[in-house]
Chain A
Amino acid sequence: MSERPVSIPGEPKVDLEQARAHGLAPDEYRKIEQTIGRTPTYTELGVFSVMWSEHCSYKSSRRHLRKLPSKSELVVQGPGENAGAIDVGDGWAAVFKIESHNHPSFVEPYQGAATGVGGILRDIFTMGARPVASMNSLKFGSFEHPRTRYLLGGVVGGIGGYGNCVGVPTVAGEVMFDAAYNANILVNAFCLGLVRKGEMMSAKARGPGNPVLYVGSATGRDGIHGASMASAEFDKESEAKRPAVQVGDPFTEKLLIEACLEAGKTGAIVAIQDMGAAGLTSSSSEMASHGGLGIELDLDKVPLREAGLTPYEILLSESQERMLIVAERGREAELQAVFEKWDLHAVVIGHVTEDQRWRTRWRGQVVADIPIGALADDAPIYDRPAAAPKIQPQTKPAIAAKHPETAKAIRALLDSPNIASKKWVYRQYDSIVQSNTVLGPGSDGAVLRIKNSRRAIALKVDSNPRACALDPYLGAVGTVCEAARNVACAGARPVGITNCLNYGNPERPEVMWQFIRGVEGLRDASIAFGAPVVSGNVSFYNETEGHPIPPTPTIAVLGVMIDVAKHVTQFFKNPGDVIALVRTAAPSIAASEYAAIFGIDGGRLGAIDLAREAALVEGLVEGAEQGLIKSAHDIAEGGLAVALAEACFNPRAILGAEVELGRAGNADAVVFFGEGASTVVLSIAKRDAARVESLFAGRGLEFAVIGRVTAEPRLKIGAAAGLDEDVAELQRIYEDAIPRRLRGGD
Chain B
Amino acid sequence: MKWGVVRFPGSLDDGDSLYAIAEVMGQDARMLWHKDESLGGVECVLLPGGFSYGDYLRTGAIARFSPIMKSVAKFAADGGLVIGICNGFQILCEAHLLPGALTRNRSLSFICQRVWLRVENASTPFTRAAKQGDLLRLPIKHGEGLYVAPEDEIRQMEERGQVILRYVDADGRESDAANPNGSMRAIAGVANQRFNVFGLMPHPEHAVEPMLGGVDGLKIFQSIAGSAR
Question: Which residues of A are at the interface with B, using a C-beta cutoff of 8 A?
Answer: 157, 160-161, 164-167, 249-252, 254-255, 342-343, 426-438, 449, 451, 564-565
Contacts and interface: CB of A to CB of B under 8 A. Distances in A.
B211 A438 contact: yes
Given A164-B110, A429-B112, A438-B212, A249 B16 contact: no
A434 B16 contact: yes
Contact of A432 (B53, B111, B213): B213
Given A167-B13, A428-B111, A435-B212, 15 more contacts: A160-B110, A161-B110, A164-B112, A165-B10, A250-B54, A254-B51, A427-B111, A427-B113, A428-B110, A430-B112, A432-B206, A435-B20, A437-B212, A451-B19, A565-B211
12 contacts: A157-B109, A251-B56, A254-B10, A342-B9, A426-B112, A427-B112, A427-B113, A429-B110, A432-B112, A432-B206, A435-B16, A437-B212
Contacts of B16: 433-435
A251 B211 contact: no
Interface string B99-124: 00000000001111100000000000
B151 to A, nearest CB: 30
B102 to A, nearest CB: 16
Contacts of A434: 15-16
A435 B203 CA distance: 11
> Which of the listed residues A166, A431, A433 has the most CB atoms from chain B within 10 Å of its own CB?
A433
Given A160-B110, A428-B111, A433 B51 contact: no
B66 to A, nearest CB: 12
Given A342-B9, A435-B16, A428 B211 contact: no
Contacts of B20: 435
A255 B7 CA distance: 12
A433 B12 contact: yes
A365 B107 CA distance: 56
Nearest to A437: B212
Contacts of A429: 110, 112
Nearest to A344: B9
A165 B9 contact: no
For chain B, which range describes its interface: under 10, 10 to 19, 20 to 34, or 35 or more residues?
Answer: 20 to 34
Interface in B69-124: 109-113
Given A428-B112, A429-B112, A432-B112, A343 B9 contact: yes
A436 B206 CA distance: 10
A430 B212 contact: no
B111 to A, nearest CB: 6
B141 interface: yes
A164 B9 contact: no
B204 interface: no
Interface in B2-60: 9-10, 12-13, 15-16, 19-20, 50-51, 53-56
Given A250-B54, A251-B54, A427-B111, A564 B141 contact: no
Nearest to B15: A434
A437 B207 CA distance: 12
Contacts of A428: 109-112
A435 B141 CA distance: 13
Contacts of B10: 165, 251, 254-255
A122 B9 CA distance: 18
